[in-house]
Structure 1
Amino acid sequence: MSYWLYIVLLVLGIYVGISVLLYFLQDYLMFKPEKLDKDFQFHYENQEIEEYNVETRDGATINGLHFKSKEPKGVVFYLKGNSKSMKGWGKFAVDFTRHGFDVIMVDYRGFGKSTGRRTQKAVKRDLQVVYNKIKENVDEKYVILYGRSLGSGFATKLASMNNPRMLILDAPYYSLSKVAKRYVPFMPLSILIKFPMPTYKWLKYVQCPIHIIHGTDDKLIPYKTSVKLSKIKPKLTTLHSIIGGGHKNLNTFEYYHKVLDEIITSKPKKINLEGSSIHVKHSSKTANA
C-alpha cells in the first residue's frame, strides 16, 4: 500500500469515526435535561399552579404545569429551551401571569418527570396533543405561542399547523442544522442530525402575527439569524432588538419587559398610510438624498 493511499484511508476512517460518534452522541450534546422524582413538588412564590400529565399514544407521559391568573385574558403556551426542567423555567411564567394570562408549560420527553424516547417527530406530536387540549377550553384567538431558543422551532411548527392569536419567538434559530454547522462545518449534518428543526421552512406557513425578540450580542444564536427569519413573512413579522442582550439574559433587560408588555397587551391596528410618503422615492440625482 502506498504512503498516500494509507494517509487517505486513515483520514477517511477518522472522518467516518467522528461522524458515527456525532450521530450517537448528539442527543447528549444537544440536550441538557434535568430529571425530577415523580413525587417532586413544584412551588413558585405568588403563583397558583396545577400540575398535570398527558399520556401519549406510544405510552410516554408528558408532565406539565398550568400557571393560573385570576381573570385570564388568554393562555400562553410557553415552549422552553434545551436545558434543565420546568423546575427552573417556571419562574418565567410570572412575565405573563402578571398581565392576566394563564401559562401552560411542559417538559419535553426525558426532561423533568416526562418520559418516552425523544425524537423530533415525537416531540412535535406531543406538543400538538397538549395544544389540542388547550383548544378544548380556550378559543384559539386567545392562545399565544411563545418559543424560547430550542422551543422557538417547535412553537413555529405548531403555529404553522394551527391558528393561534400570535407567535412570539425568543432567540430563535434558522434551523438547528445551521447552528450545528457553525461548530462542525466539515461534517455532513444534513445526514447525521436527528433534530434538524427547520424553523425557516415552517415559518412560511404561519398566518398569525409573528414577533421575534433577539439580543444583539447573542453568541450562541447570532442576532442576524432573526433578521433573516424576519424577512420570510415580512408583512406579519415584527423584529424587536434588545441592544446588548445575550442568549440567556434578556429577562434582565427592562426593554425586554417593555417589548413583551406591548406585544401581549396591545391590540393590532391597521395603519392609515393615506397622505404618507410610502410611495415617494428618493431621486438618485440628488447627492444629499
Structure 2
Amino acid sequence: MAYWVSTILTILGIYIAISIALYYLQDYMLFKPEKLPKDFQFHYENQETKEYNLETRDGAVINGLRFFPKGESKGVVLYLKGNSKSIKGWGKFAVDFTRHGYNVLMVDYRGFGKSTGKRSQKAIKRDLQLVYNKIKEQTTEDRIILYGRSLGSGFATKLASMNNPKKLILDAPYYSLTKVTARYAPFMPLSLLIKYPLPTYKWLKYVKCPIHIIHGTHDKLIPYKSSVKLAQINPDLTKLYTVIGGGHKNLNNFESYHEMLDEILNSESKTIDLETTSINVIHSSKKTKKRA
C-alpha cells in the first residue's frame, strides 16, 4: 500500500475516533453538575425560601427553590442558571430580584443538585415547560419574567418563544451552542455530533415580549459579538445592554449591571411618537448655491 494512502487512512481513523469521543463525552464536557444529597438543607441569610420537588412524566424529579421578596410581590422571575454547580451556589443571585419585589424560582436541571433523570435537550425543555405551567397556575403570564444565564439563555429563549411572559432577559447568551463549541473544534462536524445545539437565534425570532440582552465586552467564553448578532434578529423588541469590561462570570460585580437590572425590572416600555423625532430628517451633503 502506498505511503500516502496509509497516511490518509491513519488521519481518517484518528478523525473518526475523535468524533466518536466528542459525541459520547460531550455531556461531561458541557455539564459540570454538583450533586446534593436528598436531605441537604438550603440556607441563605436574610432570604426566605421554600423548596419544591416536581415529578415529570418519565419519573424524574426536578428540584427547585422559591425566594420570597419582603413585602408585596410584583411577579415571578424564573431564573435558568448556567452549566455548573447547583442552585445551592446560584441562590445567592436571587437577591438581585427579590430586592426589587419579585419572587424568584430557581431549578436544577436533570443530574444537578437534587434533580434526577436522564438528561437530554428535549427532556430539559419539557421539564422547564412543566415548571412554567406550574407558575401559571399561581399567577398570570404578564407577571412572569424569564431570566436565562449563559447555558440557561437558550432554554429561556425557547420557553419565551412558546409562551407569553412579560419579559425575557438574557445574560451572556450564545448565538447557538454549536457556534460556541465550534471555536474549540473548528474542523469537526459539530452539526452532526452536538446533542445540545440550542439554536437561540432560531427561537428568538418567535419571541413576542420585550427582550433584554446583557453582555460583557470582555467575555472570553461567549463573545460579546454573539449578543450583537442576537439583537439584530428581533430588533423591534430587543434592547442590548453592554457591561464595559465585564467577563463571563463577573457581571454581578459591576455597578452598571445592577443599574441595568433596575431599569429592566422597574421600567415599562413606552411607545415613542416617531413623527416628533428627527427620524425622517434628511441630511444633505450638497452645497447650496448662494443667490445673487
Structure 2 counterpart SS, 1:66: strand
SS in 1 for 2:183: helix
Distance in 1, matches of 2:277 and 2:64, equals 49
Structure 1 residue 14, shift from structure 2 partner:
0.2
2:232 aligned with 1:212: no
Moved more, 77-86 or 269-278: 269-278
Q: Which residue of 1 aligns with 2:265?
A: 264
Q: What per-residue deviation string (whole Å, max 9, x for no partner) do you get for residues 83-102 of structure 1?
A: 00000000000000001000
The reply to whether residue 191 of structure 1 matches residue 192 of structure 2 is yes
In structure 2, what is the equivalent of residue 277 of structure 1?
Answer: 278
The amino acid of 2:63's aligned partner reads N
Counterpart amino acid of 2:25? L
Secondary structure of the corresponding residue to residue 137 of structure 1: coil
Matched residue, 1:86: 87
- One-letter amino acid of the counterpart of residue 161, structure 1: M
Q: How does 1:39-54 map to 2 (within 5 A)?
A: 39-54=39-54
**Are 2:169 and 1:141 equivalent residues in the alignment?**
no
Q: Which amino acid aligns with 2:49?
A: I
Which amino acid is the alignment partner of residue 81 of structure 2?
A: K
Equivalent in the alignment of 2:170: 169
Following superposition, the deviation at residue 275 of structure 1 comes to 2.7
Question: CA–CA distance in 2 between the matches of 1:283 and 1:128?
Answer: 53
* TM-aligned CA deviation for residue 273 of structure 1: 2.4
Residues 124-163 of structure 1: matches in 2 within 5 Å? Answer: 124-163=125-164
- Which 10-residue stretch deviates more, 274-283 or 43-52? 274-283
Q: Report the counterpart of residue 256 of structure 2 in structure 1.
A: 255
Rounded to whole Å, the distance in 2 between the matches of 1:45 and 1:237 is 35
Shift of 1:268: 1.4
Q: Distance in 1 between matches of 2:171 and 2:220?
A: 14
2:68 corresponds to which residue? Answer: 68
Q: What is the alpha-carbon distance in structure 2 between the residues aligned to residue 206 and residue 239 of structure 1?
A: 15
**Residues 226-265 of structure 1 correspond to what in structure 2 (within 5 A)?**
226-265=227-266
Question: Amino acid of the residue matched to residue 42 of structure 2?
Answer: F
Superposed CA deviations along residues 108-141 of structure 1, whole A, max 9, x for unmatched, are: 0000000001000000000000000000011000
| Partner residue in 1 for 2:29 | 29
Q: SS of 1:274's equivalent?
A: helix
Deviation readout 1:25-66 (Å, 9 max, x if unpaired): 100001100000000000011110000000000010000001
**Aligned-pair distance for 1:270?**
1.1
Q: Specify the structure having the higher radius of gyration (Cα).
A: 2
Q: Deviations over 1:128-158 (max 9, x none)?
A: 0000000001100000000000000000000
Structure 1: which 5+ runs fail to align?
none
TM-score, L = length of structure 2 = 0.97
Counterpart code for 2:10: L
Q: What percentage of aligned pairs have identical amino acids?
A: 74
Partners in 1 of 2:268 and 2:230 — Cα distance? 23
Structure 2 equivalent of residue 16 of structure 1: 16
Distance, in Å, in 1 between the alignment partners of 2:33 and 2:14 is: 30
Distance in 1 between residues matched to 2:142 and 2:87, nearest whole Å = 26
Give the whole-Å Cα distance in 2 for the aligned partners of 1:168 and 1:47: 23
Mapped partners of 2:28, 2:165: distance in 1: 33
Q: Could you tell me how far apart the structure 2 residues matched to 1:243 and 1:273 are?
A: 30
Distance 2:93 2:201 in 1: 26
- In the alignment, the residues of structure 2 paired with residue 217 and residue 66 of structure 1 have an alpha-carbon distance, to the nearest angstrom, of 32
Q: Please report how far the alpha carbon of residue 285 of structure 1 lies from its aligned counterpart in structure 2 after TM superposition.
A: 4.0
Q: CA RMSD in A?
A: 0.8
Distance (whole Å) between structure 2 residues aligned to residue 12 and residue 285 of structure 1: 62
Q: Which runs of 4+ in 1 moved over 3 A?
A: none
Rounded Cα–Cα distance in structure 2 between residues aligned with 1:21 and 1:29 = 11
- Give secondary structure in 2 for the equivalent of 1:183: coil
Per the alignment, do residues 284 and 120 of structure 1 end up closer, same or farther by CA in structure 2, a change over 3 Å counting? Answer: farther
Deviations 1:236-257 (A, max 9, x none): 0000000000000000000000
Extract unaligned runs of 5+ from structure 2. 288-292
Q: How many Å apart are 1:204 and its aligned residue? A: 0.7
For 1:235 and 1:273, the matched residues in 2 are separated by 14
- Residue identity matched to 2:40: F
